[in-house]
Amino acid sequence: AQSVSQHNHHVILSEAASLELGCNYSYGGTVNLFWYVQYPGQHLQLLLKYFSGDPLVKGIKGFEAEFIKSKFSFNLRKPSVQWSDTAEYFCASPGNAGNMLTFGGGTRLMVKP
């Protein structure tokens, strides 16, 4: 069965530090991948998505992710985090199962001012 895993459950960074959150998927075929963010008390918002083409995907709020097929990875990056990036981040994929998303376990990011 398809799965999506996130290595880091909790990450604490200081403002201006660089961020990289890991995400791995485990299925073949057509790969579609997403990163969502959930700010405290808010709904899930799409940060970026990969369907095909350029493996380096740029999203909103300065985030980007790189799809590396050989490593089954889709890591999220941001060069310099801000306090307002404090949130929970989810990697997700529909796999081969249609319009249903399989989510990773999430990573709680806390950015210290």
Partner 1 sequence: KAGVTQTPRYLIKTRGQQVTLSCSPISGHRSVSWYQQTPGQGLQFLFEYFSETQRNKGNFPGRFSGRQFSNSRSEMNVSTLELGDSALYLCASSLESQGNGYGYTFGSGTRLTVV
Residues in contact with partner 1 by the rule CB under 8 A = 30, 32, 34, 36, 42-46, 49, 51, 90, 92-94, 97-106
Residue 101 CB, nearest approach to partner 1 (Å): 5
Q: What is the DSSP letter of 3?
A: -
Q: Phi, psi (5° rounding) for residue 62?
A: 80, 5
Residue 104 CB, nearest approach to partner 1 (Å): 8
β-pair type (4-5, 45-50): unpaired
Between 27 and 103, CB nearer to partner 1? 103
Residue 85 CB, nearest approach to partner 1 (Å): 19
Between 62 and 94, CB nearer to partner 1? 94
Question: What are 30's two structure tokens?
Answer: 């057509």
Between 92 and 111, CB nearer to partner 1? 92
Please report the beta strands in 6-72, taking only residues with DSSP state E, as ranges in sequence order.
Answer: 10-14, 19-21, 24-25, 33-38, 45-50, 56-58, 64-68
Between 41 and 113, CB nearer to partner 1? 41
Calpha distance 110→34 (Å, rounded):
21
